[in-house]
């Protein structure tokens, strides 16, 4: 910053401070004058002398006010523009001005982007809090009601057995939600809680098919197991099981009455692909790019009664990614959806 620019800065700060002093002084005179007039206890001569006195004080104040304003302006200039900073702010020509303007625009853009990101994160947290509260409240309410009912009226051993089974189901539901939250917390701090080991994927798929068939039948959905192939992968069995169960559960949940869910396997170069498809309501095209985002839920009027935290597919994507794989989705509204999971075969390195 050149000497002339420094003087301009001092003058700017000083004039601003002095202007503030004058404004405050005029406000005080105006307020007190109006106050004395409203009291109606002084005659016009007294009020005139009062006004003259304050005007004289104001005239005497001008030199002292200028001196203090200059002193304060100089101090502010020294604090805000130290010598090294002034040197770095030296502008030699129009090119430097354009460069400073471009730098300023970039900083403004960065601040704007940060604010938008914070706003989006805040909205996601709000949405998640509402959905998670609902998910946690529902099983707790069911458990409380069943326990109160059991304490109110004696029951037979068979009835107690049914009650315990229902309570166990709700406890497992709560446990899954808390596991999701814990896994997300670990990902936030950079942990990768995946323990890879040799695994027979075909065996897991066929095992899950038996479970899925019974589960789907209870909801009026047909389940089919298509072609399977021998495929050994490096994976954590519980995590891959979680991925496939989530995809099957969604395929059943968002299906139509008497619809069909089909799971199959195929080799794809150095990968094995597991495909889960359904004949359900499908996914709106605008929702597909955001489907694996954390806390995101598709707002579909046909399934308003279906609630969730928006964590399932986010965790599916996270697990698959940390196994070196990919997951893709194809969907047609009103016709169904298909999710394809690809994992590298055992002898293929994970990048």
Residue with tokens 């539901």: 173
Into how many domains does the chain fold? Answer: 3
**How does the average pLDDT of the chain come out, rounded?**
77
pLDDT at 169: 80
Given a cut of 80, whether residue 27 has pLDDT beyond it is no
Instruction: Specify the CATH number for the domain of residue 115.
Output: 1.10.287.130
Given a cut of 60, whether residue 73 has pLDDT beyond it is yes
**Band of pLDDT at residue 217, cut at 50, 70 and 90:** confident
Given a cut of 60, whether residue 308 has pLDDT beyond it is no
The answer to whether residues 74 and 47 belong to one domain is yes
The answer to whether residues 40 and 169 belong to one domain is no
**Is residue 234 domain-resident?**
yes
The answer to whether residues 147 and 232 belong to one domain is no
How much is the average pLDDT of 99-108? 74
Domain residue limits at 253: 197-344
Most confident region among 66-80, 83-97, 157-171 by mean pLDDT: 157-171
The answer to whether residues 85 and 117 belong to one domain is no
Whole-model pTM: value is: 0.54
Last residue of a domain, one of 48, 64, 90: 90
Residues 78 and 75: their CA atoms lie apart, in Å, by: 5
**Is residue 98 domain-resident?**
no
Residues 151 and 71: their CA atoms lie apart, in Å, by: 81
The answer to whether residues 68 and 18 belong to one domain is yes
Instruction: Specify the CATH number for the domain of residue 265.
Output: 3.30.565.10
Strands (E), the chain: 197-200, 222-225, 232-235, 260-268, 271-278, 326-332, 336-344
Query: What does residue 181 show for φ and ψ, rounded to 5 degrees?
Result: -65, -40
Reported as a single tens digit per residue, the pLDDT across 281-294 is: 999 999 998 888 87
The answer to whether residues 163 and 214 belong to one domain is no
Given a cut of 70, whether residue 155 has pLDDT beyond it is yes
Last residue of a domain, one of 188, 220, 249: 188
pLDDT at 130: 64
**Is residue 38 domain-resident?**
yes
pLDDT at 351: 46
The answer to whether residues 294 and 252 belong to one domain is yes
């Amino acid at each position: 910053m050149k000497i002339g620019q420094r003087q301009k800065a001092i003058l700017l700060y000083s004039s601003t401070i002095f202007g503030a002093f004058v404004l405050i002084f005029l406000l005080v005179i105006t307020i007190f004058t109006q106050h004395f007039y409203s009291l109606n206890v002084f005659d016009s001569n007294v009020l005139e002398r009062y006004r003259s006195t304050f005007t004289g004080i104001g005239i005497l104040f001008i030199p002292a006010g200028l001196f203090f304003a200059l002193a304060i302006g100089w101090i502010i200039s020294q604090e805000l523009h130290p010598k090294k900073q002034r040197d770095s702010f030296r502008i030699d020509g129009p090119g430097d001005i354009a460069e400073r303007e471009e730098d300023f625009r970039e900083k403004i853009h960065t601040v704007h982007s940060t604010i938008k990101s914070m706003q989006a994160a805040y909205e996601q947290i709000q949405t998640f809090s509402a959905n998670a509260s609902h998910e946690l409240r529902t099983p707790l309410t069911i458990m409380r009601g069943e326990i109160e009912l059991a304490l109110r009226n004696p029951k037979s051993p068979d009835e107690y057995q049914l009650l315990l089974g229902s309570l166990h189901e709700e406890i497992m539901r709560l446990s899954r939600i808390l596991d999701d939250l814990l896994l997300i917390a670990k990902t936030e701090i950079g942990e990768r809680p995946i323990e890879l080991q040799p695994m027979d994927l075909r065996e897991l798929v066929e095992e899950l098919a038996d479970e899925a068939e019974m589960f789907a039948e209870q909801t009026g959905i047909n389940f089919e197991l298509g072609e399977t192939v021998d495929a050994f992968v490096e994976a954590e069995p519980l995590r891959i099981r979680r991925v496939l169960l989530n995809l099957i559960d969604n395929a059943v949940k968002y299906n139509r009455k008497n619809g069909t869910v089909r799971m199959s396997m195929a080799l794809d170069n150095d990968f094995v692909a597991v495909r889960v498809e359904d004949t359900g309501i499908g996914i709106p095209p605008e929702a597909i790019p955001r489907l694996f985002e954390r806390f995101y839920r598709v707002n579909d009027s046909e399934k308003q009664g279906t609630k969730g935290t928006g964590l399932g597919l986010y965790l599916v994507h996270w697990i698959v990614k940390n196994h070196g794989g990919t997951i893709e989705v194809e969907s047609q509204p009103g016709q169904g959806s298909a999710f394809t999971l690809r994992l590298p075969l055992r002898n293929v390195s994970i990048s």
